[in-house]
Chain A
Amino acid sequence: MNLKASNISFSYTKKRQILNDVSLSLNSNEIIGLMGDSGSGKSTLCKILSGHISHYSGEVTLDGNKIQDKGFYPVQLIYQHPEKTMNPKWKMEKVLNESWNPPQDLKKSFGLKDSWLTRWPSELSGGELQRFSILRALNPNTKFIIADEISTMLDAVTQVQIWEALINHCKANNIGILAVSHDEELLNVLCDDILKFDEINNL
Chain B
Amino acid sequence: MAKLLEVNNLSISFTQYVQGLNRHDLKVISDLTIDVAESEIVAILGSSGSGKSLLAHSILGILPYNSHVEGEIKYRGNVLNQELKEKLRGNEICLIPQSVNFLDPLMKVSEQAIGECKDEKEHAEKKIKQREIFAKYGLDESVDDLYPFELSGGMARKVLLSTALIEDPNLLIADEPTPGLDKKSVDETIEDIKNLKENGKGVLLITHEIDVALKTADRIAIFYSGYVIEINTVENFKNADNVLHPYTKALINSLPKNGFKLTEGVQPLDVVDGCPYYENCPIRLDKCENNKPKLVDHNGVMIRCFNFEEASDES
Instruction: Say yes or no for A200: interface residue by CB 8 A criterion.
Output: no
- List, sorted by A's number, 6 A–B pairs whose CB atoms are closer than 8 Å: A38-B153, A39-B155, A153-B48, A154-B208, A157-B47, A157-B251
Instruction: Say yes or no for B180: interface residue by CB 8 A criterion.
Output: yes
**Known contacts A155-B251, A156-B210, A164-B262, A185 near B257 by CB under 8 Å:** yes
Instruction: Say yes or no for A51: interface residue by CB 8 A criterion.
Output: no
How near does chain A come to B17, taking the closest CB pair, in angstroms? 13
Which of B171-190 touch A at CB < 8 Å?
179-186
Known: A38-B154, A156-B210, A157-B47; 18 extra A-B contacts, CB below 8 A, are A16-B142, A37-B182, A43-B152, A125-B49, A126-B49, A127-B266, A128-B49, A153-B48, A154-B47, A154-B208, A157-B247, A160-B254, A161-B263, A161-B264, A182-B180, A182-B181, A188-B256, A189-B260
Which of A106-144 touch B at CB < 8 Å?
111, 113, 115-116, 124-128
User: Which B residues are in CB contact (< 8 Å) with A160?
Assistant: 254, 260-263
User: Which B residues are in CB contact (< 8 Å) with A184?
Assistant: 183
Return the chain A residue nearest B47 by Cβ.
Answer: A155
**Known contacts A115-B269, A157-B250, A185 near B180 by CB under 8 Å:** no
Give Cα A116 to B181, complex, Å.
31
Q: Which residues of A contact B (CB under 8 A)?
A: 12, 15-16, 36-40, 43, 80, 111, 113, 115-116, 124-128, 149, 152-161, 164, 182-186, 188-189
Inter-chain contact A161/B183, CB cutoff 8 Å:
no
Inter-chain contact A43/B153, CB cutoff 8 Å:
yes
User: Which A residues are in CB contact (< 8 Å) with B304?
Assistant: none
User: Which A residues are in CB contact (< 8 Å) with B107?
Assistant: none
Give Cα A124 to B266, complex, Å.
12
Instruction: Say yes or no for B157: interface residue by CB 8 A criterion.
Output: yes
Instruction: Say yes or no for B202: interface residue by CB 8 A criterion.
Output: no
Inter-chain contact B255/A156, CB cutoff 8 Å:
yes
How near does chain A come to B257, taking the closest CB pair, in angstroms? 5
How near does chain B come to A123, taking the closest CB pair, in angstroms? 8
Instruction: Say yes or no for B46: interface residue by CB 8 A criterion.
Output: yes
User: Which B residues are in CB contact (< 8 Å) with A157?
Assistant: 47, 247, 250-251, 254, 263
How near does chain B come to A13, taking the closest CB pair, in angstroms? 8
- How many residues in B have their beta carbons less than 8 Å from beta carbons of A? 42
User: Which B residues are in CB contact (< 8 Å) with A38?
Assistant: 152-155, 157-158, 180-182, 185
Give Cα A154 to B184, complex, Å.
21
User: Which B residues are in CB contact (< 8 Å) with A124?
Assistant: 49, 269
**Known contacts A38-B185, A125-B49, A182-B181, A156 near B254 by CB under 8 Å:** yes
Give Cα A159 to B251, complex, Å.
10
Return the chain B residue nearest A44 by Cβ.
Answer: B152
Inter-chain contact B182/A182, CB cutoff 8 Å:
yes
Give Cα A127 to B225, complex, Å.
13
Mask, B25-60, CB within 8 Å of A = 1, is 000000000000000000001111110000000000
Inter-chain contact A158/B48, CB cutoff 8 Å:
yes
Instruction: Say yes or no for B151: interface residue by CB 8 A criterion.
Output: yes
User: Which A residues are in CB contact (< 8 Å) with B152?
Assistant: 38-40, 43
Inter-chain contact A156/B251, CB cutoff 8 Å:
yes
User: Which A residues are in CB contact (< 8 Å) with B47?
Assistant: 125, 127, 154-155, 157-158
Give Cα A183 to B256, complex, Å.
9
7 A-B pairs with least C-beta separation = A38-B154, A125-B49, A155-B47, A126-B48, A39-B152, A185-B256, A37-B182
Give Cα A116 to B266, complex, Å.
12
Inter-chain contact A155/B48, CB cutoff 8 Å:
yes
User: Which B residues are in CB contact (< 8 Å) with A188?
Assistant: 256
Return the chain A residue nearest B258 by Cβ.
Answer: A156
How near does chain A come to B168, taking the closest CB pair, in angstroms? 25
User: Which B residues are in CB contact (< 8 Å) with A113?
Assistant: 266, 269
User: Which B residues are in CB contact (< 8 Å) with A159?
Assistant: 254
**Known contacts A39-B151, A125-B49, A186-B256, A153 near B179 by CB under 8 Å:** yes
